[in-house]
Structure 1
């Protein structure tokens, strides 16, 4: 399923990033939070031109795809496994007159064989008991017992899609293993580093998971904050 939102003749692309560019997120779609804003800030530090091909993996609300298109990228592709997220992203891009191609599918499968200059991803990364969610609200955050159910797939499948000099920007919780992400991306031939770190209070999801996380030794008793990291990985030219 493919949706393409073409620019309106009377509208102009966003010239900067602002949370005001977003409107209400439909129930069941991941609403922009601290990790979204961190990734948006990292995206805005990249050199984006009309010729930059951008991929937003697991686009959710479409926030990052719209930021990239608003910066002037004319080749923006957004992918999500949720039909509701696909529809919401298409509608937002259409209303704002931004050129975003929205695909329905699982992670990088719909864009296999294509090449991108910039890939951004804010995947599910919360460690929880049981397997990754297959449907429902938990699809946006449940990532298996180690939080790596989706991260490992992105670390494996994204590097081959990067053009020479291309960059992957990936955000997740340090609870999911920062060093493991860096090691996997480095092993794929990328130059990987932590571009940003931020400590934030637990949200509702982690507060609910806190007893289980304590029992597994992932957090200290009474701990109420987590560290988010943005990983920047570049393919050498």
Structure 2
């Protein structure tokens, strides 16, 4: 499940992402990394406990009253691509990207999900979930930084093309930087209350290429090298105009 290897090529990839993220957040103290090792997952669980703890009612619906080190992990985490946003070495945001089968499949029929997402749903679609950001984040664009990194890596390194994600309908306008294709599927999760959620879908790369300074997603953007090439060219063009 590890998308970026622990070698010189992997270091170069993360250096590229760091440069884009630091520009996006206007801070040299930020980075996003995939959570891979058991120690990192324990750190993730503690961070989720702290961050969801800022929203006590929601925390209780997800995790109950338990407080041990692994309570904020579940069966989806080990088979998902999980990303953590670090500020000065501390996790201030996380997001999970899960291949099929998806958590929403517990609440929406498989037939509905296939109709909604398309015939390649099982092989090409991932679910974005467990997004949480520190209420007191010292930098902006944490959500965009997580999406930019995670979505592009699972698309270009994992081979996925589309995504689904669910939110409370009233929160959807906060995600207007993402490309949702159509009206969502409305459903309930009874264990979390009587309110409704809306499931949306979109294309991974076209949804995040604007964060790399690209006006649109190039048709021949197929891998990380292409993304780096296009991003650096766009950056150079902007600098030339500014100069």
The higher relative CO (CA closer than 8 Å, separation ≥ 6) is in 1
* Same-fold call, TM cutoff 0.5: no
**TM-score (normalised: structure 2):** 0.30
Normalized per residue, the structure richer in helix is: 2
